[in-house]
Amino acid sequence: MPARELNMTRSSLAALSRRDLLQGAAASFVLVGGRLVADAASAQASAATPLNAWIAIAADGKVTLQCAHSEMGQGIYTTFAAIMADELEADWSTCDIVFSPVAPAYRHPVYNWQFTGNAESIRSYHGLIRKMAAAAREMLVMAAADQLNVPASELAARDGKVLHKASGRALDFAALAQAAAAKAPPAAPAVKPESEWRLVGHGRSLPRRDIPDKVHGSAAFGIDIKVPGMVHAAVMSTPALGGKAASVDEAPVRDMAGVIKVVPLGNVVAVVAEHYWQARLALAKLKIDWQGGETFDDAALEKSFRAAQQGKEGWALAENKGDAVKALADTRHVIEAEYSAPWVSHAPMEPMNATVAVTDTGVIVWAPTQGMQMTQIVVSKVLGVPPEKVTINRTYLGGGFGRRLLADFVAQAALCAKAVGRPVKLIWSREEDIKQDVYRPGFLNQVRAQLGNDGLPAAIHFKLVAPTILAPVSPTPIRPGMVDALCCEGLMENPYAIANRRVDYNMLGTPIPTMVLRTTGHGPNNFTVESFVDELAHAGKQDPHQYRRRLLGDNPVARKVLDRAAELARWGKAPRGRFQGIAFADCFGSYLSQVAELSIEGGAVKLHKIVTVCDPGRVLDRINATSMMEGGVVWGLSAALYSSLSFDKGHVRERNFDRFRVVTLPDTPELVTDFLENRPAIGGLGEVGPVCVPAAIGNALFAATGVRHRRYPFALDGVRTVYGKIFG
Amino acid sequence: MATFSFTLNGAPTTLDVDPSTPLLWALRDHLGLTGTKFGCGIAQCGACTVHVNGEAVRSCAYTIDSVAGAQVTTIEGLTRDGPHRLQEEWIKAQVPQCGYCQPGFIMAAAALLEAKPHPTPADIAASITNICRCGTYARISKAILAAAGG
């Protein structure tokens, strides 16, 4: 059985030098029986010889590979390391994977910022980590050339050895590591051609390294961390957004078992206790005087969207090609519609939590985070210590979907730890997880198109009103009046050949905190574009698949994706009583087409099949890529059918899974998934799977009922499914 | 505070906690068994599923005073001798994504197979009502069917 422990890098604060950081050298803790203990094997790994920031080789042959990213279900822990092992020509069975520290070496090569999101982990790091692994391989080969006294050109690395074919001699990486580390890194390491990939690509798949522990219940998520002397915190936030705790009457909890301290934190009040449930019991008894909260409701929100849509203020020009305004001035063949998307919560299965210890020499954080660098900076700011004194230990994430890019929950844990002078694990209840979410906002989109004589749009004009999703995670300020590029994704640079196109965007300010969520702007915008394109096809009495083929013009790579989806779905040949809808997207560097097939039974929707075809350029791990698509479809089904938030008295009404409905096992139809690999560059996968699902289902609903749904989830329009809510 | 005695994964266990403490937090926080997960606190998501006297229950909404004298089994004690056949099929099918909810699913599926060794897809759909936000449902069904057939 593989080791059950999760290695967590935990740099020795006092001894940490910049060189150590760059090389990723770090001591480790492991969880054994739920306790965090110093780990002998990892200590050995830290004694391994680093060849660069990513790769270290120990005397026993163990290769330690640094995973710069967060594992939140997307399988990056395995695939990221496999890319390096492949390029290094390491023996995969000798490779250990650790979560890297927060350090400049691990930052996104373009954004210069360490985070996991936007389906960036492979597409933005693949070139970099192949180069780093190729450099390490060449250094090993140089060391072998010295030892064997032969030219490096006669040597080849394979399976953890450097081989001299002519003489049959071979040297293990372990025996070469120290001499290799002394070599100057090659300036231009030669990356292998794809034909020589041995661990990834070409339909291959590796068993995910994290899965056995996750199946046995031994994997360590943030919520599972235990450190010596640790106590627990529970929090309650303001009942109305914007409110603050003016005063807290602690008398009712003073004598309660286990209670250590009440910690008011402005919009949140925390109770720290010996055990978590003691903190929860005390929290419920506290008398808190909340002041100054918002009072808005759905009607007020709706009014502000309408006012922005109809007004002249706040608009920014996001895209303008040709002259859509002029083309649309002739209103004879204009079709227009208004589409909207709902407010939703991330609600990953593991609620936000973090564990923080404030020590004499620095601050140690254990957190399930997508925003490792953000976490370091936020904790540094709230505790007033330099960032280099804040060590971030990363755990597995019980889902992320964008929420864990922010570090507000870690800041609360840090302030509690400081207040009580002991390590604190802070856990949000599900209700707090939704109340303190930073939501994906509603989108309101007015779209107009001018149809040409060929039935295709000669001009299209989008007027989108949406609160920002980029601002909280943007390194540069994003303010009203500016274009939020993520909000406009999928409207801008749309793949369809339309000569005149214009996208106007109005960043609505609301009292509600907003941010990216899985699919970012592509999700809501694809619903608008692909439902509207369906309307245009039907207006011209054209087949929706063929219509999109024509719109893709001379883009054969995109057309192949659309055609393959139609082929796998047997487009146009659905069994009697079943109806199909198709949609297409160019998102996150990948092409996607999905076909939904459904029937109406007793007035309710029954889903039969979702076909997904994706072209991400290269599929590095086939089974895991399929997981991303299958799971993405389910995420898209929740979005399309059920999930939305409503507001009353200044806050969300839906605060748990009883009212924030998501898809469960019975709702899951047959999933058919295929990949093409024709795009020239590697694209993303994690965000992609859900993107076309709402439009594909909406288009199938139109085919079935003749009713065009211009908002989702379709439950808002009274669309029921045959899957009764089986609980609650 | 009060004292509660029950059998946990085959071993007699005694705990001194507030009677309102959910079994979930007794397991995680007092007994160090963190394979049972917290997801919702209102018995909706099933991440906290354990067996009490052989039945799958949602331990977040099951107070410690109601398990006095009972046999409690968690993911850590699902089998005594190597992995359960469900766990083997789960690995074969590469079911988990984030993995957080998976012990709850496996505990729910194990109780299903005890009650119904050869469930149909409809039986699975009717009895496995846990939530997985990563959307691993299709592979969960596949793994349960494989375990039942094997």
Q: Are A614 and A595 in contact, with CB atoms under 8 Å apart?
A: no
H helices present in B69-119, as ranges? 85-92, 102-115
* Mean model confidence pLDDT for chain B: 97
Pairwise CA distance, residues A582 & A578, whole Å: 14
* Interface contact B37-A427, CB threshold 8 A: no
Report how far apart, in Å, the C-alpha atoms of A277 and of each of A236, A237, A288, B14, B45 are: 14, 17, 19, 18, 19
Q: What is the pLDDT of residues A161-213, one digit of tens each?
A: 999 999 999 999 999 999 999 999 999 999 999 999 999 999 999 999 999 99
Q: Name the residue among A207, A223, A656 with its Cβ closest to that of B38.
A: A223
Of the candidates A462, A544, A448, the residue with the CA atom closest to the CA atom of residue A505 = A462
Q: What is the pLDDT of residues A611-662, one digit of tens each?
A: 999 999 999 999 999 999 999 999 999 999 999 999 999 999 999 999 999 9
Number of helical H runs and strand E runs in chain B: 5, 5
Q: With contacts defined as CB-CB under 8 Å, which chain A residues touch B1? A: 257
| Domains of chain A, CATH where assigned | 8-216 (3.30.365.10), 222-293+352-427 (3.30.365.10), 314-343+439-717 (3.30.365.10)
Does A12 have pLDDT greater than 80?
no
Of the candidates B51, B91, B137, the residue with the CA atom closest to the CA atom of residue A632 = B137
Which of A79, A205, A208, A215 to mutate to test binding with chain B, by most B CBs within 10 Å of its CB?
A215
Token representation of residue A70: 């967060």
Q: With contacts defined as CB-CB under 8 Å, which chain B residues touch A665? A: 124-125, 128-130, 137, 140-141
* Interface contact A668-B137, CB threshold 8 A: yes
* Interface contact A215-B90, CB threshold 8 A: yes
- The backbone torsions φ and ψ at residue A398, rounded to the nearest 5 degrees and listed phi first, read -80, 70
Task: Give yes or no for A347 touching B (CB within 8 A).
Answer: yes
The pLDDT assigned to A47 comes to 81
Q: Name the residue among A34, A631, A665 with its Cβ closest to that of B32.
A: A34
CB-based contacts of A309: which residues, under 8 Å, 6+ apart? A444, A446, A463, A465, A506
The pLDDT assigned to A525 comes to 98
Pairwise CA distance, residues B32 & A142, whole Å: 50
Q: Name the residue among A219, A631, A656 with its Cβ closest to that of B136.
A: A631
Q: With contacts defined as CB-CB under 8 Å, which chain B residues touch A657? A: 39-40, 42, 44-45, 131
The pLDDT assigned to A113 comes to 94
Pairwise CA distance, residues A338 & A445, whole Å: 6
Pairwise CA distance, residues B143 & B119, whole Å: 12
The pLDDT assigned to A23 comes to 32
Q: Kindly compute the dihedral angle of the four CA atoms of residues A276, A282, A286, A291, in this order, to the nearest 10 degrees.
A: 10
Pairwise CA distance, residues A463 & B140, whole Å: 42
Q: Are A173 and A57 in contact, with CB atoms under 8 Å apart?
A: yes
User: What is the least distance, in Å, from the CA of B40 to any CA of chain A?
Assistant: 5
Token representation of residue A12: 């020795």
With a cut of 0.95, is the ipTM above it?
yes
Q: Are A218 and B75 in contact, with CB atoms under 8 Å apart?
A: no
**What residues pair up with A672 in beta bridges, in sequence order?**
A611
Does A107 have pLDDT greater than 90?
yes
What whole-number percentage of chain A has pLDDT above 90? 91
Amino acid type, A270: A
Q: Are A31 and A226 in contact, with CB atoms under 8 Å apart?
A: yes
The pLDDT assigned to A331 comes to 86
Of the candidates A373, A123, A208, A231, the residue with the CA atom closest to the CA atom of residue B136 = A208
Q: With contacts defined as CB-CB under 8 Å, which chain B residues touch A630? A: 135-136, 138-139
Q: Of A59-63, A375-379, A722-726, which range is least confident?
A: A722-726
Q: Are B83 and A200 in contact, with CB atoms under 8 Å apart?
A: no
Q: With contacts defined as CB-CB under 8 Å, which chain B residues touch A368? A: none
Q: How remote is the C-alpha of B82 from its chain's centroid?
A: 17
Q: What is the pLDDT of residues A44-94, one digit of tens each?
A: 455 899 999 999 999 999 999 999 999 999 999 999 999 999 999 999 999
CB-based contacts of A168: which residues, under 8 Å, 6+ apart? none
CB-based contacts of A172: which residues, under 8 Å, 6+ apart? A61, A160, A161
Task: Give yes or no for A75 touching B (CB within 8 A).
Answer: yes
Q: What is the pLDDT of residues A468-502, one digit of tens each?
A: 999 999 988 999 999 999 999 999 999 999 999 99
First to last CA, chain B: 47
User: What is the least distance, in Å, from the CA of A430 to any CA of chain B?
Assistant: 5
Average pLDDT estimate for A527-547 = 97
Q: Name the residue among A73, A226, A657 with its Cβ closest to that of B97.
A: A73
Amino acid type, A292: G
Pairwise CA distance, residues A566 & A216, whole Å: 40
Does A116 have pLDDT greater than 50?
yes
Query: Which residue in chain B is spatially nearest to A634 when comparing CA positions?
Result: B135
The pLDDT assigned to A36 comes to 41
Task: Give the DSSP H/E element, type plus range, for residue A609.
Answer: strand A604-615
The pLDDT assigned to A63 comes to 98
The pLDDT assigned to B1 comes to 82
Does A41 have pLDDT greater than 50?
no
* Mean model confidence pLDDT for chain A: 93
Of the candidates A611, A577, A578, the residue with the CA atom closest to the CA atom of residue A592 = A611
Q: How many CB atoms lie within 10 A of CB A653?
A: 13
Does A17 have pLDDT greater than 80?
no
Q: What is the DSSP string of A429-479?
A: -HHHHHHT--BBPPEEEEEEEEE-TTSSEEEEEEEEEE--SSGGG-SS---
* Interface contact B37-A396, CB threshold 8 A: no
User: What is the least distance, in Å, from the CA of B12 to any CA of chain A?
Assistant: 18
User: What is the least distance, in Å, from the CA of B114 to any CA of chain A?
Assistant: 19
Number of helical H runs and strand E runs in chain A: 17, 30
- Looking at residue B30, the DSSP 8-state letter turns out to be I
Does A584 have pLDDT greater than 60?
yes
Residue carrying structure tokens 């895991």: A624
* Interface contact A217-B76, CB threshold 8 A: yes
Q: Are A3 and A44 in contact, with CB atoms under 8 Å apart?
A: no
A 404-443 → B contacts, CB under 8 A: 427, 429-431
Q: With contacts defined as CB-CB under 8 Å, which chain B residues touch A430? A: 39-42
Does A9 have pLDDT greater than 50?
no
Task: Give the DSSP H/E element, type plus range, for residue A315.
Answer: strand A315-321
pLDDT band at A465 (very low <50, low <70, confident <90, very high): very high
| Domains of chain B, CATH where assigned | 2-77 (3.10.20.30), 85-149 (1.10.150.120)
What's the half-sphere exposure (Cβ side, CA atoms, 13 Å) at A401?
Answer: 30
The pLDDT assigned to A40 comes to 46
User: What is the least distance, in Å, from the CA of A641 to any CA of chain B?
Assistant: 14
Longest dimension (CA), chain B: 47
